[in-house]
């Protein structure tokens, strides 16, 4: 079941999102986030590796929704 609280936002720490939604780990890896990025907010980590925040958030939220069995 999808809840509004299951939407990942740019201000959340990468570490917290990975802990709450383990299915996002492969997305963060695919976008090149390194271990040093895990203590940063997602928006900052995206800037550090040079990826568009919107693209990263779309992919992360898609992984969360697919992991929860929610159709996009």
Per-residue confidence (pLDDT) for residue 37, from 0 to 100: 83
Residue 15: band (very low, low, confident or very high) from pLDDT cuts 50, 70, 90? very high
What are the tens digits of pLDDT across the range 20-56?
999 999 999 999 988 888 899 999 999 999 999 999 9
Given a cut of 80, is residue 18 above it in pLDDT? yes
In this prediction the pTM is 0.86
Query: Which residues neighbour 37 within 8 Å (Cβ) at sequence distance 6 or greater?
Result: 14, 28, 44, 45, 48, 49
Per domain, the residue ranges of the chain are: 9-67
Q: Which two tokens stand for residue 66?
A: 């697919």
SS (H, E, C) the chain: CCCHHHCCCCCCEHHHHHHHCHHHHHHHHHCCCCHHHCCCEHHHHHHHHCCCHHHHHHHHHHHHHHHCCCCC
């Amino acid at each position: 079941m999808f809840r509004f609280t299951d939407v990942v936002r740019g201000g959340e720490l990468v570490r917290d999102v990975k802990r709450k939604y383990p299915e996002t780990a492969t997305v963060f890896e695919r976008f090149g986030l390194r271990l040093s990025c895990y203590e940063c907010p997602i928006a900052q980590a995206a800037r550090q590796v040079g990826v568009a925040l919107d693209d990263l958030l779309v992919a992360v939220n898609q992984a969360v929704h697919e992991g929860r069995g929610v159709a996009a």
